[in-house]
A and B are shown apart, each in its own frame.
Chain A
Amino acid sequence: MRVLVVSYHPLEGSFTAATTARVLDTLARSGRHTIRHRDLHADGQTAAWTTPPDPPGSGPTPVADLRWCEAIVFVYPTWWSGQPAALTGWLQSTLAELTDRHDGSHTARPLRNVRRFAAVTSHGSSKLVNVAQGEGGKRVLSRGLRSRCHPLARMSWIALYGIDRSTTRSRDRFLDRITRRLGSW
């Protein structure tokens, strides 16, 4: 599969960096995928509503990435019950660009090529608190994004809750969970 990995965390030594490394390693080991990795922090994503067009010769744009892939893995920390603003902005601006056709009309499913996607994320608080908050981050992907993908697109939710009170052991178990869930892709 052609897999696009979109990761975001502003700090280099973060747990998200470790989960991103595990995601990339797991996908590479299976030998079945072509992988593209975009690190939104390294790419200088400022989460404006619309990103200025990339200068020519700077490689594939976010729009080209999304058109190219068959599967996406998002790796990010959950802040204020949802995706960080940088990832939200990346999604909103590229989707807006993909949705509007040149003749002024719109396409309902600009990501028909995407049949599978996963979210790998960590929450500071517990699952219970996140449910009380309405699980906004999960629903943005499982309802908002999925409605723009292939009608049969499936989502995998791979989440670590309560990272503020986690231990080395629980974090290791989470990394193994990533290997299990994404290893079968």
Chain B
Amino acid sequence: MIASSSDPGHHRRLPPDRFFWGVLRPVTAGLRKKPTIEQLGYLFEQVLPVPIDEVQAAYHRQSDGRWIACGMKRSELADELTGTEVTLTPSHAPAFLTDMLDELRTDDLNLLTEDFEPAPVRTWNRRCTMAAAGLVALLSSGLTSYLYLQERAASSEMSQVYALQMKVFEQALGHGFHRSDATSAQGQPPELRLLAELRQLRRTRQPNRDVINQPDAAEHLVRLLGMWPSPDEALHLADESPPAGTLRTTVASADPGVNWERNAEDMLYVRTEVISITPQSMNVRALIPTANDAERLAAALRATPGWMLSQPQISSTRDAVQASLRFTLEAISAEDESS
């Protein structure tokens, strides 16, 4: 054995002839590009004079895929150590390797690992590991606490939303609603009660347009009588209390059948026999002194909003003329014309 050369400090270097050397080709041997330490050990063992179990080895990968193996018998290494070394590496590569390889950093071939790892290094590593673990634990607990607080805040907000919802139920469902209903297994859930009531109200108070748009004959009667020739005789159904005096002579404004005295030039005497209002049509049949008066009545009623007056039918009776006026809804008239 050649005498060792020691470097100053804790980084000890030995001449290359103190080591076993090998150039390993894992790919050629059918292994992966990055084999395990055990696999490299088996490859290295093929060039060793002793079993690999008796050798402390270090490996370094070259850029071309080859691995440089460097080892020393464990017993020799143990004898060599003084207890102060932190690393132990070859001082330089052997000649046959420098011829083969462009570059080899022997600093990467440290044999003081695993079982030979120096106590200070082991302690330092353990401390680093503990520090890292502590930091991770701190981060983990901090993150967990933050997430927990967020979750609690969300739960609290959810409780508030639920309480608000209960208030809304109380307002909407009235006295019949109690908080116990919300959790009672027997009572119907307030959500369903509210929905059922809403559906019922929509059906009865907010039906679709086809249902709402039902004709109101009273309105049509008001419109018709509102167009009656004498303004004083209009029927105002919309008034709170229709004054009887203004309606007294609405339809029959004179003493018909006896004589048709006129108090004024523009007075129109009408004795109405029938007024019929249906959703589609209105009919007025009346006795009137003259055909001219019948024309006047038709002219006045022609302007009834929403209705279209057909050609008036006039026939003579014993002492008057009978006028029949037929009105059709303008919408229906327009449809008939278009068809």
Q: Say if A and B assemble together.
A: no
A interface with B by C-beta (< 8 Å): none
Which residues of chain B have a CB within 8 Å of any CB of chain A?
Answer: none
